[in-house]
Amino acid sequence: MRSGRILLAALAAGVLTLAGCGDDGGDPAGSGPGGLTVPKIDELAALGAGEGVVNVVSWAGYVEDGSTDKSVDWVTGFEKETGCQVNNKIAGTSDEMVALMKTGEYDVVSASGDASLRLIYGGDVAPVNTDLLSNYQDVFEGLKNKAWNSVDGVPYGAPHGRGANLLMYRTDTVTPAPTSWSAVFDPASPHKGKITAYDSPIYIADAALYLMKTKPELNIENPYALDDTQFQAAVDLLKQQNELIGEYWSDYTKEVQAFKAGNSVLGTTWQVITNLTKADGAPVEAILPAEGATGWSDTWMVSAKAQHPHCAYLWMNHIISPKANAGVAEWFGEAPANRLSCAETKDPNHCATFHAEDEAYFAQVWYWTTPLARCVDGRTDVTCKDYAAWTQAWTTIKG
């Protein structure tokens, strides 16, 4: 999931764009970005008995039944308890998730921030009656009713977990310790050739976030909504940064190994990578820099055409239940969505390490959202760069 995650977020771009295409031009102006309408779909009114089966689309590692590791299993118990047999289909990309959900054969999906809006505006997922999810009340408020999982205050899913893209450095070589993203953008950096960055177009948002704080004259309001000038500034910054980069990373084995060997000494990371690197004995630390950071959050959503809606609700309630949510959060290394999960993790410090309960921490995080031509910050007087443009720019940045 982790390795796919970045891509996914980026992929979501396609999702968002799709959100706009409900019915090629025939839509009247509505409440969505740029005047899109959310198809009217009823939420489930009452919870009944399970249908015996639930068909799930998920990221690898979100639905573990013990086949990868006997001790990693939050599916078997659910099946016994509810009688809902879980058929899991792992999707590799957000596009694949959307395509699978469009077939109508699946009941629930673990959608990333870039796919969720596409699903909502495409009429593929239904609003969620959170009264039927007994565990929803324990979900952190900071994850409820956000731009990527609700429309006009109507929730479309159960939040699953979250994380931030931090700045990691080797404590033995990088002194003094960095406090700002300027450390990875400084053309005169003493660590030239040993700086690393995330290998995905979505990383352009990291540069935009830095410019948002350091170049106020650009008026960047949201790092995922960039008009021509703002976008060009971010791209130029990254081209300049390319001179400093040793390698871009895209999966965590690669990054852990690079930091341990010293090929990389400074760059973006996830909390889980930092933990693994430390556990393997390398002197590293990770910080949330002064400018804040980008991050991600996934949401479980239920299909508008679900054939097993009751089992789907049972599953959603199960996966955000304290124990299961703790299991997933630890297996993947992210902050759980349910506050009670923090008492259930095998590592008692898991929530502290991943800042799960620290809303001030996550308030500084800009969650991955797919950039669209319709600016996601609500501006209507300009056209923003969409994800396809971000991808092409990423190519020129890497050269």
Judged by CB under 8 A, the chain residues 188 through 227 that form the site for another protein are 199-201
Alpha-carbon gap, residue 22 to 1, rounded angstroms: 29
For another protein, which residue of 68, 134, 137, 171 counts as binding (CB under 8 A)? Answer: 68
Looking at beta carbons only, is 18 or 143 nearer to another protein?
18
Site for another protein in 239-268 (CB under 8 A): 242, 245-248, 250-254, 256-258, 260-263
The label of the residue with tokens 């031009």 reads 25
Interface with another protein, residue 69, by CB under 8 A: yes
For another protein, which residue of 95, 124, 227, 298 counts as binding (CB under 8 A)? Answer: 95
Q: How far is the CB of 396 from another protein (least distance, A)?
A: 5
Q: How far is the CB of 127 from another protein (least distance, A)?
A: 23
Number of residues that bind another protein (CB under 8 A): 72
Looking at beta carbons only, is 213 or 379 nearer to another protein?
379
Looking at beta carbons only, is 10 or 211 nearer to another protein?
10
Alpha-carbon gap, residue 163 to 11, rounded angstroms: 18
Quick one: which segment of 272-280, 311-319, 335-343, 355-363 binds another protein (CB under 8 A)?
Answer: 272-280
Looking at beta carbons only, is 48 or 66 nearer to another protein?
66
Looking at beta carbons only, is 310 or 385 nearer to another protein?
385
For another protein, which residue of 80, 187, 360, 395 counts as binding (CB under 8 A)? Answer: 395
Strand-strand pairing, 154-155 and 284-287: unpaired
Looking at beta carbons only, is 137 or 229 nearer to another protein?
229
Interface with another protein, residue 92, by CB under 8 A: yes
Interface with another protein, residue 2, by CB under 8 A: yes
Site for another protein in 300-339 (CB under 8 A): none
**Cβ atoms within 10 Å of 15's Cβ, excluding its own:** 29
Site for another protein in 19-58 (CB under 8 A): 20-21, 24, 34, 57
Interface with another protein, residue 382, by CB under 8 A: no
Interface with another protein, residue 83, by CB under 8 A: no
Interface with another protein, residue 151, by CB under 8 A: no
Q: How far is the CB of 284 from another protein (least distance, A)?
A: 13
